[in-house]
Amino acid sequence: MVGFVHPVVPSANGRTTCLSELDEGGTLKERWTLVTADNATLFLQNRDGRRHGCIDLMSAYAAVNFGHRNPAFRSAFDAAHDLVGPFPGPAAEEVARWLCAQLGEPARRRVLFQIGGSFAVATAVALARRARSGRVAVIEGSFHGLGVDTGAFSSVQREFSLQDTGFTELVDGQVVRLAHGEIPQSWGGISCLLYEPVQGANGYVPLEPAWLKKLTSAAAASGVVTISDEIQCGFFRHGVLSPATELGLDPDIALYSKSLTNGIYPLSAVVYKESIGRHSGVFLAHTFQTSALGTAAAQVVIRYIETHDIATLAKQTEDGLRDLAWKLTGEGHARDVFLTGPTLSFEPIHISSAELVQRAFDRGVLIFRGGARGQRIRIAPPLTIPASQLSEAAEVVWSAITAG
């Protein structure tokens, strides 16, 4: 199956696309569009009508953790309404209760649904700054979105961002950047600590657990609001539903998006302690806050998690990547190799990350880049990928690394 190519009828009149060149599809040598997808398999077509199939080891930036077009999620499209102003549907309450329960002590937590990860981060910081004024402490290597505010909170891939035109610098003065391993001597003037337990855009780099525990404990002891951004690393992307909870942390606010709906709808959830959200006379509303499709999609995803052994799926995927991780390290082809549950990341030594992505794609496997300079490789298969297909993909990646 890997790398199959067969001709199809070109687009009508041979017209070139009207789609913008500014999306990330331009990182490959050719422009491709998606024809269809099935679990961990993508079927693509270029502008000449040529088709290309590949195994997806990207999972749409960790959004499609449970496979493309998962038949268990089809009922999400049968919601009873579309938008009804300020009235959420019954699925919203079920999803909110479930999320609160996962973080423990659900009676003291609340969920505010938003649209997309950047908006969730901005909302969390707004809640934190209303509870305690001051600057936002972030960790070097973090990525928290592409808005004017969330872009300032991020420290990787800003140079690639279309939005990086000077506005983010206006917010930089409100940000305190911590190096890995650093714990501030004083938390005065700091409102909140915003962190990713596993840094996504930085190349799937896990924060050192003992240090993260000390850091968040010190922040909480000083009254600083702690925010765990699990938008990319949550929902079993690294083997557990909530990395912060698995580490025994108790964030004041936890953020989810992406795989919350398995990529069906850009819903996000801001799960916060009720005491932080007690602000009379203020609210945050927008047109799609009560979208039935978003919460219905989240509802079928959590029901899927509850009725399937996701931990075993994650372990099987991790086992399928382990041999590649060992070879990368043992034979000197990569540095800083991290196997964090069902996700593998590394920095190739003898080939650039960009060239490796292209080689693997040409051979029928989709991987993607990360890191402060885009120097790292991220491999994140859907947890539902068959073992034989994952083994095949891993061999392709290895051959792409060692070719020539």
* Residue-level pLDDT at 164: 79
Residue 44: band (very low, low, confident or very high) from pLDDT cuts 50, 70, 90 = very high
Q: Contact at 8 Å (CB) between 378 and 232?
A: no
Residue 21 has pLDDT above 90, yes or no: no
Q: What is the mean pLDDT of residues 288-303?
A: 93
Q: Which is more confident, 149 or 159?
A: 149
CA atoms within 13 A on the CB side of 39: 7
Q: Kindly provide the b/e burial profile for residues 46-71, where b requires at least 16 CB atoms within 10 angstroms of the residue's own CB.
A: beeeeebbbbbbbbbbbbbbbbbebe
Answer whether residue 9 shows pLDDT above 80. no
Look at residue 6 in the predicted model and tell me its pLDDT.
43
Task: Please give the single-letter amino acid code of residue 88.
Answer: P
* Per-residue pLDDT band at 404 (split at 50, 70, 90): low
Residue 49 neighbours by CB under 8 Å, 6+ apart: 7, 8, 9, 10, 11
What's the one-letter identity of residue 274?
Answer: E
Dist CA 313 CA 176 (whole Å): 39
**Across the beta sheet with 376-379, what order do the strands follow?**
334-339, 344-348, 376-379, 368-370
- Per-residue confidence (pLDDT) for residue 25, from 0 to 100: 81
Sign of CA dihedral 141, 367, 255, 322: negative
Task: With a cut of 50, say whether residue 358 has pLDDT above it.
Answer: yes
Q: What is the 3-state secondary structure of 272-306?
A: EEHHHHCCCCCCCCCHHHHCHHHHHHHHHHHHHHH
> What H or E segment, with its residue span, contains residue 45?
strand 41-46
pLDDT score of 70 more than 90: yes
pLDDT at residue number 286: 82
pLDDT score recorded for residue 7? 43
Could you report the per-residue pLDDT of 325-357, keeping only the tens digit for each? 999 999 999 999 999 999 999 999 999 999 999
Supply the pLDDT for residue 16: 67
Higher pLDDT, 162 or 266: 266
Q: Which residues contact residue 385 at a Cβ distance below 8 angstroms, ignoring those fewer than 6 apart? A: 39, 40, 55, 67, 317, 320, 393
Tell me, what's the pLDDT at 163? 80
For residues 227 and 237, give the distance between their C-alpha atoms in angstroms, rounded to a whole number. Answer: 19
CA–CA distance, 351 with 2 (Å, rounded to integer): 22
Q: Please name the amino acid found at residue 192.
A: C
Token pair in block for residue 47 = 């502008």
Structure letter (DSSP) for residue 197: S
Residue 294 has pLDDT above 90, yes or no: yes
Determine the Cα–Cα distance for residues 96 and 298; give it in Å rounded to an integer: 10
End-to-end CA distance of the chain: 23
Q: Check whether 5 has a pLDDT greater than 50.
A: no
> Which SS3 state, helix, strand or coil, does residue 401 take?
helix
Q: With 70 as the cut, is the pLDDT of residue 12 above it?
A: no
Top mean-pLDDT range of 8-12, 110-114, 165-169: 110-114
The whole-number average pLDDT for the span 174-179 is 97
CA angle 53, 358, 238 (to 5 degrees): 80
- Give me the pLDDT at residue 227, please: 98
Query: Within 13 Å and on the Cβ side, how many CA atoms surround 157?
Result: 20
Supply 38's token pair. Answer: 């099935």
Closest CA to 301 of 259, 269, 257: 259
- The reported pLDDT for the residue numbered 251 is 97
Structural domains of the chain sorted by starting position, each given as residue range(s) with its CATH number in brackets: 5-24+54-62+309-402 (3.90.1150.10), 72-307 (3.40.640.10)
Residues 207-262 pLDDT 10s: 999 999 999 999 999 999 999 999 999 999 999 999 999 999 999 999 999 999 99
How many other C-beta atoms can be found within 10 angstroms of the C-beta atom of residue 404?
6
Lowest model confidence (mean pLDDT) among 172-181, 187-196, 285-294? 285-294
CA 35 vs. chain centroid, Å, equals: 23
Give the mean pLDDT of 262-283: 91
- Is pTM beyond 0.85? Reply is yes
> Is the model more confident about 12 or about 99?
99
Break the chain down into helix, strand, coil percent, rounded to 5: 40, 20, 40
How far, in Å, CA of 24 to CA of 22, rounded? 7
What is the structure's pLDDT at 290? Answer: 83
Q: Give, in order, the Cα–Cα distances in Å from 323 to each of 55, 206, 282, 318, 319.
A: 18, 20, 53, 10, 8
